[in-house]
């Protein structure tokens, strides 16, 4: 089955075509036929964060060129004049808010033959709604014009599914599995007792971890996206064994649940920055380190407590912050401390950050279960939940 994955929930525009076979417990395998990603990081950097309307405009500009590249790489881009006049009105109303995308898509559809794609999978949430709509409308337009079935994918499920994939196949998970989902928009602990079934056991009450990293980066005068930058400073502080100038409170560490809160932590960093006025270079490094230590302490403590309470046999870490070197290392250390063995699954950084492979892969498993969506009723759901 050939699945096209489309991801536009935040600031990455991504398209991927895979050819997949089998099922979770029945020799699942896939081949990537084409994979293209455009990161808008440089576009948003001057604003210090993702600017939703700018993200929407960039997705609209880049989807068709990325799709074209994917089809070319997959040897599925074949010129053939097509009369699309019967679809024109429908496409115009569907893409009325994305005129750039409409023009490019009409030209594309009139020039190329329908490729061999069995299912279109698109992220419908969670994320920035204006950004999600572009991918959804693009997917709907292709689905309707070419009469290809559509499936919708929860972005966070994409992260979870991809953490169970290794060498283009499934490496079966030991259940119950605990998923720690940490990204720019989410911080959740999710329990999975079987493949593709989820129960949320904890979440952030305010800012997401990645958001806290990005805001702290801004306070420290670092460019967007701040996570990797803060992490670099923190690593340097550790390498040089710098004096620990600051002490931050570990938020929610002793709360009797699996919830998180990172807004107060960011405020505490702001207070230090304002009080000190001019932080020395070493103090900046030390503050970045104390912040990262604090985040890691909380994530590790909550994850360990949840492993114990639910008897988790494996731990999956997904989302952009899973690319953080120190947090990965701390989780790996913690996993060895449990009396029984827990397998830790952290995807390599390239799979941890947003991409369309995870959408195509999760979409495949939904298609196997005949979870098809009606292209006329699919909507962007900014706060869509996994469980
Ligand atoms: O999952 P993701 O690519 O996008 C969504 O938010 O869905 O995650 C992006 C977030 C950003 O907040 C970014 O600063 C953070 O992940 N991030 C990191 C690192 N790499 C990315 N945070 C800490 N350390 C990193 N190495
Ligand atoms: Zn993500």
| Segment 287-313, tens digit of pLDDT | 999 999 999 999 999 999 999 999 999
Q: Which of 44, 321, 352 to mutate to test the pocket of ligand 1 (most atoms within 8 A of CB)?
A: 321
Residue 156 CA to ligand 2 center (angstroms) comes to: 7
Share of the chain above pLDDT 70, in %: 100
Residue 270 CA to ligand 2 center (angstroms) comes to: 26
Mean pLDDT confidence for 37-53: 90
- Index of the ligand 1 atom closest to the CA of residue 209: 12
Mark the residues whose beta carbon lies below 5 A from ion ligand 2.
183, 354
- Index of the ligand 1 atom closest to the CA of residue 224: 14
- Index of the ligand 1 atom closest to the CA of residue 210: 12
Q: Which of 320, 323, 347 to mutate to test the pocket of ligand 1 (most atoms within 8 A of CB)?
A: 320
> pLDDT tens digits for 202-222?
999 999 999 999 999 999 999
For 246-308, the DSSP string reads -----TTTT-SSS-B--HHHHHHHHHHHHHHSS--HHHHHHHHHHHHHHHHHHHHHHHHHHHH
For 25-53, the DSSP string reads TEEEEEEEEEEEEEE-HHHHGGGTS--HH
pLDDT band at 339 (very low <50, low <70, confident <90, very high): confident
Residue 323 CA to ligand 2 center (angstroms) comes to: 11
- Residue whose Cα lies nearest atom 2 of ligand 1: it is 320
Residue 353 CA to ligand 2 center (angstroms) comes to: 6
| Ligand approaching nearest to the C-alpha of 37 | 1
**Residue 120 Cα distances to 2, 68, 90, 237, angstroms:** 9, 15, 18, 46
For position 275, what pLDDT does the model report? 94
- Index of the ligand 1 atom closest to the CA of residue 155: 7
- Index of the ligand 1 atom closest to the CA of residue 225: 14
pLDDT band at 50 (very low <50, low <70, confident <90, very high): confident
- Index of the ligand 1 atom closest to the CA of residue 327: 24
| Ligand approaching nearest to the C-alpha of 224 | 1
Q: Which ranges of the chain does DSSP label H, i.e. alpha helix?
A: 41-44, 52-73, 85-94, 99-111, 129-146, 155-163, 209-219, 226-239, 263-276, 281-310, 325-335, 349-352, 357-368
| Ligand approaching nearest to the C-alpha of 155 | 2
Residue 11 CA to ligand 1 center (angstroms) comes to: 11
Mean pLDDT of the chain: 95
> pLDDT tens digits for 99-153?
989 999 999 999 999 999 999 999 999 999 999 999 999 999 999 999 999 999 9
How far is the first Cα of the chain from the last one, in angstroms, to the nearest whole number?
Answer: 27
Share of the chain above pLDDT 90, in %: 87
The ligand 1 site (C-beta within 6 Å) comprises 10, 183-185, 210, 213-214, 225-228, 231, 319-321, 323-324, 353-354
- Residue whose Cα lies nearest atom 14 of ligand 1: it is 227
- Index of the ligand 1 atom closest to the CA of residue 231: 24
Residue 258 CA to ligand 1 center (angstroms) comes to: 21
For position 243, what pLDDT does the model report? 86
pTM summary value: 0.94
Residue 322 CA to ligand 1 center (angstroms) comes to: 8
Residue 3 CA to ligand 1 center (angstroms) comes to: 26
Q: Which two tokens stand for residue 318?
A: 């997904």
pLDDT over 90 at 277, yes or no: no
For position 387, what pLDDT does the model report? 82
How remote is the C-alpha of 386 from its chain's centroid?
13
| Ligand approaching nearest to the C-alpha of 11 | 1
């Amino acid at each position: 089955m050939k699945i096209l994955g489309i991801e536009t929930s935040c600031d990455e525009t991504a398209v991927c075509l895979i050819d997949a076979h089998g099922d979770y417990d029945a020799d699942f395998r896939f081949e990537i036929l084409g994979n293209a990603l455009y990161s808008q990081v440089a576009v948003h950097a001057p604003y210090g964060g993702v600017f939703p309307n700018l993200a929407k405009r960039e997705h609209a500009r880049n989807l068709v060129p990325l799709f074209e590249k994917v089809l070319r790489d997959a040897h599925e881009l074949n010129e053939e004049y097509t009369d699309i006049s019967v679809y024109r009105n429908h496409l115009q109303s569907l893409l009325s808010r994305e005129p750039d995308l409409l023009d490019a898509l009409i030209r594309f559809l009139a020039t190329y033959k329908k490729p061999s794609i069995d299912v279109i999978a698109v992220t419908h949430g969670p994320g920035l709604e204006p950004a999600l709509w572009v991918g959804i409308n693009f997917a709907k337009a292709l689905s309707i014009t070419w009469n290809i079935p559509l499936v919708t994918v929860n972005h966070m499920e994409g992260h979870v599914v991809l953490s169970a994939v290794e060498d283009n196949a499934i490496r079966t998970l030991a259940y119950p599995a605990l998923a720690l989902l940490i990204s720019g928009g989410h911080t959740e602990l999710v329990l999975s007792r079987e493949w593709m079934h989820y129960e949320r056991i904890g979440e952030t009450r305010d800012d997401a971890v990645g958001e806290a990293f990005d805001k702290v980066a801004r306070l420290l005068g670092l460019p967007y996206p701040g996570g990797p930058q803060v992490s670099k400073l923190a690593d340097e502080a550790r390498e040089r064994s710098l004096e620990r100038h600051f002490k931050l409170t570990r938020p929610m560490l002793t709360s009797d649940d699996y919830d998180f809160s990172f807004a107060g932590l960011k405020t505490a960093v702001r207070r230090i920055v304002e009080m000190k006025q001019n932080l020395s270079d070493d103090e900046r490094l030390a503050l970045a380190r104390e912040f990262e230590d604090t985040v890691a302490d909380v994530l590790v403590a909550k994850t360990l407590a949840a492993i114990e309470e639910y008897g988790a046999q494996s731990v999956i870490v997904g989302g952009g912050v899973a690319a953080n070197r120190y947090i990965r290392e701390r989780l790996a250390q913690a996993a060895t401390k449990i009396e029984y063995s827990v397998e830790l699954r952290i995807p390599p950084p390239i799979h941890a950050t947003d991409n369309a492979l995870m959408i195509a892969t999760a979409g495949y498993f939904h298609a196997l279960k005949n979870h098809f969506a009606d292209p006329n009723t699919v909507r962007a759901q900014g706060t869509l939940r996994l469980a």
